[in-house]
Structure 1
Amino acid sequence: MIVVNAFVILLLYSFVNDGAAKRAPVVIVPGDMASPIDCKVTDQENCEKRTGWFRLWLRVEDVLRGRFSCISSNLRTLFNTKTNTSHSPHGVQTRVAGWGNTSVVEYLDPSHLAKLFHIGSDAAAMVQALVSWGYERDVSIRGAPYDFRYAMASQPEWIAKLRILIEDTWRLNNKTKVAIISHSMGGLFATWFLNQQSTSWKDKFVHCFVPLSTPWGGSIGSLWGITSGYNLGIPIIKSKDLRESQRTTETNYMMIPDPRFYGTNVTFIETLKQNFSLHPKDIESFFYTSGNDIGEKIYKKVSVENELPSPGIMMRHPMVKTYCFYGTGLSTAAKLIYERGFPDSQPKKVVYSDGDGTISRESLSGCRFWQKSININNDQRQKTENLGIHGVSHSGIFADSVFLNSLEDILLVRN
């Protein structure tokens, strides 16, 4: 009898705890080039002959058919020096597809070809884990894609839409606070968004912020892209086909490495005639020497409009509980060495350092600055955890067991 009573008490205790603890619904903010972009072409001289709206970024089938040069041409933006704004080429309209849907952050291209080449399915493993915990696609898992070509200040409509999406997700899930999970550059966008919201709004609607693999201190990949073109490690994409669009992309200039993380004297690019560090004079000379005058103008624009140090991207703490995860222990590009043909050829040699294979450890661990601030202010809204996981890659973080086990606990909302 005593054993039965103990069992009943334990069972009742479980029911009480289950009732007191529920999981926060999730809004996912994807990384750089991880949002789908549709396109409509009205210029008859355009290389693209399809009519109506079609998927510009990304259909792996188009890349395999040798159409990437045309894709890149229509993906590029033009910079108007008079208005200080970026825009699509004449006769090209674009829009971000799938707002609020889980599918667009789960699979950028849902085709079998994309899955075969493991392209654009980074978040799928995490979404599948969330579903196994009882989450529902498009209800308690929502996607917040954005136009990755433009910096945050250039697309205020995204800020307004994300606020509405979070409030809608809160209502759909019995007024449960929402967890914002971001990947890579999405962490910068999500931080920018949170810093635009009032404390009372965040206290009501946001459970926590979980940035994954975020380039807080910039990325050598951005410099690589605007110098000679960077194919993101995707072998079926030619780097030279990407450079034109990468040189006109605001976010690449936003992610030029931050000297506060590395120092102003560290050399990032070596050439036969000149080396380039993060010293302001070197940055200016880099744009000139690489034949990228418009790049310097875009760089100055995004630095001013997005309240970024010059150069740099570390932002104010978002004033919600923040859990930062990133990979370490993998060879990551740290310096590009060019010989003949700079800047049109690819680097002859790449010097590597520690990181997640894409972003350096110095940049990924930026949340350490936020950790220091809570020790000073003792404000629980500034609670920050900063966890590097050895051997985990930039996108592999989504499937990592250490991260997923931690996330399952982080998402619990205890009354």
Structure 2
Amino acid sequence: MVEQLIPALLSSMARDLCMGRLVEALEKAGYRDGETLFGAPFDFRQAPAAPGQPCRAFSQFSRRLRALVEHASRKNGGKPVVVMSHSQGGYFALEFLNRSPLPWRRRYVRHYVMASTGPGGFLVSMQLLAANPSAALSSGSAFTALPSPKVFGPDAPLVVTRARNYTAQDIPESLTAIGLPRLAVTLYKTRALPVQLNFRAPVVPTTCISGVGVPTMKELVYWDGNFSKAPEVVYGDGDDLILLESTLVLDTVIGDDPRQEYYRSIKLAGTSHAGVVSDQAAVERVIVEILGVVHE
């Protein structure tokens, strides 16, 4: 029965191509749009700034999402909600939770299901910036998903040239090398990087669902130093976008935090980044996890 379901909040456009199959599966399970199922859209061009820094877009998103969570709860007899996010929505949802008062989280959020999100970022973002450096100043999210030094450290080469290798700790130098202006590098260091380094547990019951076992970009090789050309790609394990190293860090950052009362990590073999919320078997697993919250 619908009234027995905990309201679910999807931190993405509920009817977009990526989340559409998941929404359909939730509706088949008994959820109803606008009654127990709500969408929380965000502008993917924007990104949360470091705590204490002004960011009008994220502040507006947070106010709208907080009001929507409270509305969903009131509409369902005061029950706390399940927050579900996918991909970039996870960055928004996690920052929203972390910056919400803990008593509010405990009152209104029953569970957080985070799909296909890794705190370590991914190399596609670096490749896109190399191909179009002007994008760095036209989108606040251009740096959000760059590889994080907190995850990849000083030793793993991410961008390789004849002259030198660049690791996650060398991101500012690599941004300069691909032709970004000094202002863009400053924006990365002062706004995006502090958010990456501050990635932490949401302190609400959390389940992370990630794809693994799919070739995923691990290194970009611009051997002659010409970043305008398509690079050679070295692949590792992941979901075709996020490397396994980034996914596994969730288990350390969230799972090992003593404040986190419940954490579960689910790895779906052979499942792509988008497939976690679109492949039939993966969607069925996600639905099982969401519905299982009802019986906790």
Corresponding position of 2:237: 354
Q: Quick one: which of 172, 176, 189 aligns to 2:79?
A: 176
Corresponding position of 2:14: 105
Deviation at 1:402, TM superposition (A): 4.8
Distance (Å, rounded) in 2 between the aligned partners of 1:268 and 1:173: 48
Q: For residues 234-383 of structure 1, what are the structure 2 equivalents within 5 Å?
A: 244-245=134-135, 248-279=138-169, 282-293=170-181, 294-303=183-192, 307-308=194-195, 312-313=196-197, 315-340=199-224, 342-347=226-231, 349-369=232-252, 370-373=254-257, 377=258, 379=259, 381-383=260-262
Q: Which amino acid aligns with 1:336?
A: L
Deviation at 1:409, TM superposition (A): 4.5
Corresponding position of 2:127: 224
Corresponding position of 2:61: 158
Corresponding position of 2:290: 410
Corresponding position of 2:31: 135
Q: For residues 108-123 of structure 1, what are the structure 2 equivalents within 5 Å?
A: 121-123=17-19
Structure 1 SS opposite 2:113: strand
Is the CA contact 2:118–2:247 (under 8 Å) kept in the aligned structure 1? yes
Deviation at 1:142, TM superposition (A): 1.2
Distance (Å, rounded) in 1 between the aligned partners of 2:46 and 2:274: 22
Is the CA contact 2:134–2:180 (under 8 Å) kept in the aligned structure 1? no
**What TM-score results when the alignment is normalised by the length of structure 1?**
0.64
Distance of aligned partners of 1:410 and 1:283 in 2 relative to their CA distance in 1, 3 Å threshold: closer
Q: Percent identity?
A: 27
Corresponding position of 1:52: none
Structure 1 SS opposite 2:237: strand
Deviation at 1:327, TM superposition (A): 0.3
Is the CA contact 1:217–1:314 (under 8 Å) kept in the aligned structure 2? no
Corresponding position of 1:45: none
- 1:195-229 alpha-carbon deviations (Å, 9 max, x no partner): 12122211221110000000211111111111114
Distance (Å, rounded) in 2 between the aligned partners of 1:253 and 1:409: 32
Structure 2 SS opposite 1:176: coil
Is the CA contact 1:211–1:325 (under 8 Å) kept in the aligned structure 2? yes
Structure 1 SS opposite 2:255: helix
Deviation at 1:249, TM superposition (A): 2.5
Q: Which amino acid aligns with 2:174?
A: F
Structure 2 SS opposite 1:179: strand
Distance of aligned partners of 1:403 and 1:385 in 2 relative to their CA distance in 1, 3 Å threshold: farther
Deviation at 1:261, TM superposition (A): 2.0
Is the CA contact 2:136–2:184 (under 8 Å) kept in the aligned structure 1? no
Distance (Å, rounded) in 2 between the aligned partners of 1:185 and 1:133: 25
Is the CA contact 2:172–2:189 (under 8 Å) kept in the aligned structure 1? no
Is the CA contact 2:240–2:273 (under 8 Å) kept in the aligned structure 1? yes
- Measured on the aligned residues, the alpha-carbon RMSD in Å equals 2.3
Query: Mean Cα displacement is larger for which, 191-200 or 319-328?
Result: 191-200
Distance (Å, rounded) in 1 between the aligned partners of 2:241 and 2:116: 9
Distance (Å, rounded) in 2 between the aligned partners of 1:146 and 1:189: 8
Deviation at 1:313, TM superposition (A): 4.8
Structure 2 SS opposite 1:252: coil
Q: Which amino acid aligns with 2:23?
A: V
Is the CA contact 2:80–2:110 (under 8 Å) kept in the aligned structure 1? yes
The structure showing larger relative contact order (alpha-carbon pairs under 8 Å, at least 6 residues apart) is: 2
Q: For residues 199-214 of structure 1, what are the structure 2 equivalents within 5 Å?
A: 199-214=102-117
Is the CA contact 1:22–1:414 (under 8 Å) kept in the aligned structure 2? no
- 1:146-186 alpha-carbon deviations (Å, 9 max, x no partner): 12222213221111110001111112222221111001121
Distance (Å, rounded) in 1 between the aligned partners of 2:144 and 2:289: 33
Q: For residues 39-118 of structure 1, what are the structure 2 equivalents within 5 Å?
A: 104-107=13-16
Distance (Å, rounded) in 2 between the aligned partners of 1:185 and 1:382: 25
Unmatched 5+ stretches in structure 2: 50-54
Deviation at 1:339, TM superposition (A): 4.2
Is the CA contact 1:328–1:390 (under 8 Å) kept in the aligned structure 2? yes
Corresponding position of 2:265: 386
Q: Which amino acid aligns with 1:405?
A: R
Unmatched 5+ stretches in structure 1: 1-17, 31-103, 108-120, 230-242
Deviation at 1:144, TM superposition (A): 1.1
**What TM-score results when the alignment is normalised by the length of structure 2?**
0.88
| Equivalent pairs, count | 285
- 1:58-83 alpha-carbon deviations (Å, 9 max, x no partner): xxxxxxxxxxxxxxxxxxxxxxxxxx
